[in-house]
């Protein structure tokens, strides 16, 4: 997947005019690429549209319009784009109550290193977590992590041919699994370009 460049972005003025429509399109797109893994884990699989939306929003919020600032945002977000043989996801650990979330983040330490993706007929692939920086410490995990799943050509071929795909947490404190829907599977297969 090609990295985003400045020419792919709308100016602040153009984005302000198109924001409602762009946001609606991005949110609908992200819903097809969102997988709930149990009750408290959500993985949002990133691609060009989801990342462009994030960059446009950051530029808007921070009122960034100078070339160097725009490039800084692109440099921060482009690593979240899949590279053709992988999928990249933002993982959210979600507990609405702040006190419960604080307790769970302690209990779920190392969760980010226990997320697997399995294409039926192949060994599970464990996600590579937080390559840009460590988000957890000795006491607790973070509520947000960035994951990368590397797949080999045979896995990708079987995925495209319709093999079932499952995501799981193998952490004993949160052992959950889900199978992607047909729509989710098709949407994510588009990342293997």
pLDDT of residue 133: 63
Q: Is the pLDDT of residue 137 over 90?
A: no
Q: pTM (2 decimals)?
A: 0.89
pLDDT greater at residue 8 or residue 137: 8
The domain segmentation of the chain, as residue ranges, is 6-34+47-80, 86-189
Among 66-75, 132-141, 150-159, which range has the highest average pLDDT? 150-159
Q: What's the chain's average pLDDT?
A: 94
Q: What is the pLDDT of residue 185?
A: 96
Alpha-carbon Rg for the chain, nearest whole angstrom, is 17
- Residues 144-156 have a mean pLDDT of 96
In DSSP notation, the chain reads -PPP-GGGSPPHHHHHHHHHHHHHHHHHHHHHTEEEETTTEEEEE--HHHHHHHHHHHHHHHT--SHHHHHHHHHHHGGGS--SSEEEEEEEE--SSHHHHHHHHHHTTTGGGSEEEEETTS--EEPEE-SSS----SS---SEEEEEEE--HHHHHHHHTT--EEEEE--GGG-EEEEPPHHHHHHHHTT--
Residue 2 has pLDDT above 90, yes or no: no
């Amino acid at each position: 997947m090609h990295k985003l460049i400045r020419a792919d972005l709308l100016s602040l003025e153009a984005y302000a005019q198109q924001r409602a429509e762009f946001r609606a399109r991005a949110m609908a797109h992200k819903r097809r690429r969102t997988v709930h893994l149990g009750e408290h884990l959500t993985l949002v699989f990133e691609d060009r549209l989801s990342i462009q939306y994030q960059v446009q929003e950051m530029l808007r919020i921070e009122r960034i319009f100078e070339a160097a600032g725009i490039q800084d945002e692109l440099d921060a977000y482009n690593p979240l784009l899949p590279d053709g043989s992988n999928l990249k996801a933002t993982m959210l650990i979600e507990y609405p109550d702040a006190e419960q979330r604080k307790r769970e983040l302690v209990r779920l330490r190392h969760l980010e290193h226990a997320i697997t993706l399995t294409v039926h007929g192949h060994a599970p692939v464990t996600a590579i977590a937080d390559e840009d920086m460590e988000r957890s410490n000795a006491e607790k995990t973070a509520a947000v992590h960035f994951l990368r799943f590397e797949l080999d050509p045979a896995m990708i071929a079987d995925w495209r041919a319709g093999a079932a795909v499952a995501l799981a947490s193998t952490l004993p404190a949160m052992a959950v699994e889900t199978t992607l829907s047909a729509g989710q599977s098709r949407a994510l297969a588009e990342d293997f370009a």
